[in-house]
Structure 1
Amino acid sequence: MNELIKKLEEQQNLKSDEMKWLLENNTPELRQEISLRARAVAEQTYGKDVYTRGLIEFTNYCKNDCYYCGIRKSNAQAHRYRLSQTEIMACCKTGHELGFRTFVLQGGEDPAFKDDQMVEIVRGIRKEYPDCAITLSIGEKSRESYQAFFEAGANRYLLRHETATEEHYRKLHPRALSLRNRKRCLKDLKEIGYQVGTGFMVGSPHQTVENIIADLCFIKELNPEMIGIGPFIPHQQTPYQDARPGTLEETLLIISILRLMLPKALIPATTALGTIDPEGRELGILAGANVVMPNLSPVEVRKDYALYDNKICTGDEAAECRVCLSRRMESIGYEIVNNRGDHPNKKS
C-alpha cells in the first residue's frame, strides 16, 4: 500500500492495475495514509490556504434531459427561475463586500440566455470588479461562444466531463448529447486560454472501477487547472431516483488520488460532499482539496437550484455561508483567504 502511494506521489500516475488496487482496497488505513500525503503535497503549493468561489446559480432552466439531474427539462415539478442582470450584479456586490474575488456563474443550458446577453453580463462584472476572476459554468457551447465570453472578460470555465467512457456516458445522458462533443468543448476551452475545470460524480449510476480509472486517465491527460469531484446524490424527480448515492469514503480517496496526480490543481470540497456528511467539506480539505464554494444566490431561489435532493445551505444568507465556512476551516487548522486563488501556473 505505502509503496503504491509513494509511487503515485513521485510519478504522479500509476498503471491501470495499480490504480484498480487502490480503488478496490479503500480501507480506513489506506485513506489515512493517502490523505496525509495528499495534504502534504497540497501544502507545498498552497500552504494552509483555502480559496473561496462565490457561486451564483442564475438560472435553473435547462434544455437538456440528463437522467441524473434535478433540473432536467422533463422535471415538470421543478420551480423554474432566472435572475436578471441586475440581480446577478447585486449578488456580485454582496460577494465582493464579503471578500470574494472569484464569481462562478452557474446555470442550466438555458436558451433564454443568448450569447450577447452573457457577453453583456460578463462585461458588466469585469468592469465593476476588475480585481475578480469570472468563472462560467453554463455547459456545452460553440467555440465561437466560448471565445466571445473570454474576450468579454471570463477567464475560467467549469465543465465536468462526467464520464470518459462512451458506454457509461450513454447510461447517463440522452441521445441528443455526446461525449465526443463534451470533449471537444474542453479542448476548445483549453486552446482559447481559459483556466479549465472538469470532473465527475463519484458513484454515479452504472459506474465501474474501470470507468473511474478511465476518468482519472482523461483528467491526467487534459491537465485541467480545476477538478470538481463530488458524490452522486439522487434526485426524486429523475429516472435514477432510487439509485444508490456515492459514498464519502470513495469520494475522499479519489480527491487524494487526484491531488497526488495533479499536485497544483484547484480541487473543491463540494457542497455535495457536505450534503452526504455533516463534516464532508472539512474531510474533503483534509483529503487534499483546497477550495470551497459558498452560495451567493438570493435565498429565495436557492432551494430551486436542486441538482440533487437535500442540498445544504439553501436557507443561509451569503454572509452566514461565509462565516460558517470560515469557522469550519479554522476548526481543522486551515484559513479562508480573500484572493482570486489562481492556479500557480496560469494567472490571468
Structure 2
Amino acid sequence: MSKKIEQILLQDQFSKDDIIRLLQSKDDEEKALFVKSSEIKLENIGKNVHFRGLVEFSNICKKDCLYCGIRAGNPKVDRYDIADDQILKAAKFAHEHNYGSMVLQGGERSDSAFVDRITNLLKEIKKLSNNELGITISIGEQSEETYKKWFDAGAHRYLLRVESSNPKLYSKIHPDNDEHSHQTRLKCLKSLQDIGYQTGTGVMIGLPFQTYEDLANDILFMKEFDIDMVGMGPFIEHDQTPLYEHKDGLMNLNDRFRLTLRMIAVLRIIMKDINIASATALQAIDPLGREKALKIGANIIMPNITPTQERANYLLYQNKPCIDEGADDCTNCMEARINMADGEIGYGQWGDSKHFKNRQNK
C-alpha cells in the first residue's frame, strides 16, 4: 500500500516515489502539501518577497527551440533590440523605485559585438546605481570566458533553464544538432557555479511526452546540482512552433497550473533555502496565479519594466499577461499582489539566495 501524504510530509529525505506521490496529490492531499510548503517557506525565507525588474531587451535569437515563439525559425516574429539608453533608463527606474535588483533577459546570441555590448551595459548599470542594483542575467549558453567577463562586469546571478533534466525529453523539444545539446547546457550550468554566480535553472511543466517521473527527476537534479534559484512555469503552447502539433495530447491548462504549484511546493520542502520565482506564465492561466505561487513557496517576483511598445514582441508563449502595461502600472500591480499573498516586499535589497550563502560557507 502506498504511503499517506501526511507520512511523506513528516520525512526529512524523499525518494523519487515519494516525490511522484506528492506531485500527484489532489484535493485534501494537495492542501496538506501546500500547508507544509508554506510553513517551510516562512521558517526558512520569511515573508519577504523580492522584486527583480525584468527587461526583455531583445527577441533576436540564434536558437531554434521547438517550443519557443521567438525561435530563429519563426518568420512571423517582429524582431527588436532595445537601444542601450532605453535599457539604462529601465535600470534607472528600477533603482529609483527601490527594486533592489533587475534581470536582463533576451534571445541567445554569442557574437563578440553582443558579448561586448552586454559587458558595457552591466558596467553602466552598476555605475548609474552606485553599485546598489543587483543584476541577474538570462541570455543562454555562452563560453566560460564570456560568463567570467559578465561576472567581472557586475552580474552576480544567472538563470539558465535546463527545461528538462531528461536528455531524451530534451532532444524531443529541441532540434537534433550541435547547437542544441543537453550536455552543453549542463556544462554551462557547471561553469556558472564554478565562476561564482548564484546559479539558477528551471523546467517547463506539462510538456508533450513529459511524465511525473521526469518531473520528480527534475527536482532531484536541482537538489543534486545544488542549485541556488529556480524559475519554472507551466508549458503554454504557441501556435507558431513545431510542438503545437502535440497540443491535443497535453493535460489541460488548469491541470498544468495545479501541477506547477505542486512542483513549487515540493521543491520548497526539499530545498528549503533557495530562491523560487513566481513565473508570469502562471498568471496567463489564472489571474491570481502568481499570488498562489507566493503563498505556497515562491519568494521572487519579476515586474516587467521593458518599454511597453516592445512587450508584445517578446512572446515565448501565447496569452502572456501585462504586455500593455507601463513599468509604473506593473509596480503598483505587483505591490497589490504581494500584499494579497500576505507577503512583504524586500525593498532596496538584492534578495540573494540564502542557499548560495550557505553553500559558500560549507
The interval holding the TM-score normalised by the smaller chain is over 0.9
Provide the TM-score with structure 1 as the length reference. Answer: 0.95
- What's the offset of the Cα at 1:151? 0.8
Give, in whole Å, the separation in 2 of the partners of 1:340 and 1:52. Answer: 9
- Whether the 8 Å CA contact 2:274–2:355 is kept in 1: the answer is no
Unaligned runs of 5+ in 1: none
Give, in whole Å, the separation in 1 of the partners of 2:89 and 2:207. Answer: 35
State the secondary structure of the residue aligned to 1:76.
coil
- What's the offset of the Cα at 1:346? 3.6
Give, in whole Å, the separation in 2 of the partners of 1:197 and 1:111. Answer: 20
Does 2:230 match 1:227? yes
Give, in whole Å, the separation in 2 of the partners of 1:37 and 1:175. Answer: 41
Whichever residue aligns with residue 152 of structure 1, its letter is A
Which string of whole-angstrom CA distances, capped at 9 and with x for unpartnered residues, describes residues 178-236 of structure 1?
11000000000001000011010110121111211221111011111111120000111
Aligned counterpart in structure 2 of residue 304 of structure 1, from 290, 305, 313: 313
Match of 1:274 in 2: 283
Whichever residue aligns with residue 322 of structure 1, its letter is T
Does 2:3 match 1:4? no
Size of the alignment, in residue pairs?
343
Give, in whole Å, the separation in 1 of the partners of 2:239 and 2:197. Answer: 35
Does 2:44 match 1:45? yes
Does 2:114 match 1:119? no
State the secondary structure of the residue aligned to 2:204.
strand
Match of 1:211 in 2: 214
Q: Could you say what the CA RMSD is over the residues aligned between the two structures, in angstroms?
A: 1.5
Whichever residue aligns with residue 77 of structure 2, its letter is A
Give, in whole Å, the separation in 2 of the partners of 1:231 and 1:145. Answer: 30
State the secondary structure of the residue aligned to 1:315.
coil
Match of 2:89 in 1: 90
- What's the offset of the Cα at 1:241? 2.2
Structure 1 runs, 4 residues or longer, greater than 4 Å off:
none
Whichever residue aligns with residue 327 of structure 2, its letter is A
Match of 1:324 in 2: 333
Give, in whole Å, the separation in 2 of the partners of 1:104 and 1:343. Answer: 15
Give, in whole Å, the separation in 2 of the partners of 1:139 and 1:205. Answer: 22
Give, in whole Å, the separation in 2 of the partners of 1:189 and 1:260. Answer: 25
Give, in whole Å, the separation in 2 of the partners of 1:77 and 1:41. Answer: 45
Which string of whole-angstrom CA distances, capped at 9 and with x for unpartnered residues, describes residues 55-90 of structure 1?
000100111110000000111010110012111101
Whichever residue aligns with residue 353 of structure 2, its letter is H
State the secondary structure of the residue aligned to 2:231.
strand
Of 337-346 and 28-37, deviating more is: 337-346
Match of 2:26 in 1: 27
State the secondary structure of the residue aligned to 1:114.
helix
Give, in whole Å, the separation in 1 of the partners of 2:319 and 2:289. Answer: 14
State the secondary structure of the residue aligned to 1:58.
strand
Does 2:282 match 1:248? no
State the secondary structure of the residue aligned to 2:202.
strand
- What's the offset of the Cα at 1:4? 0.5
Of 70-79 and 40-49, deviating more is: 40-49
Give, in whole Å, the separation in 2 of the partners of 1:224 and 1:268. Answer: 13
Match of 2:60 in 1: 61
- What's the offset of the Cα at 1:111? 4.9
- What's the offset of the Cα at 1:39? 1.1
Match of 1:161 in 2: 162
- What's the offset of the Cα at 1:20? 2.1
1:94-173 correspondence runs (5 A): 94-111=93-110, 114-129=114-129, 130-173=131-174
Aligned counterpart in structure 1 of residue 196 of structure 2, from 174, 193, 196: 193
Unaligned runs of 5+ in 2: none
- Whether the 8 Å CA contact 1:59–1:110 is kept in 2: the answer is no
- Whether the 8 Å CA contact 1:134–1:154 is kept in 2: the answer is yes
Provide the TM-score with structure 2 as the length reference. Answer: 0.92
Of 100-109 and 241-250, deviating more is: 241-250
State the secondary structure of the residue aligned to 2:18.
helix
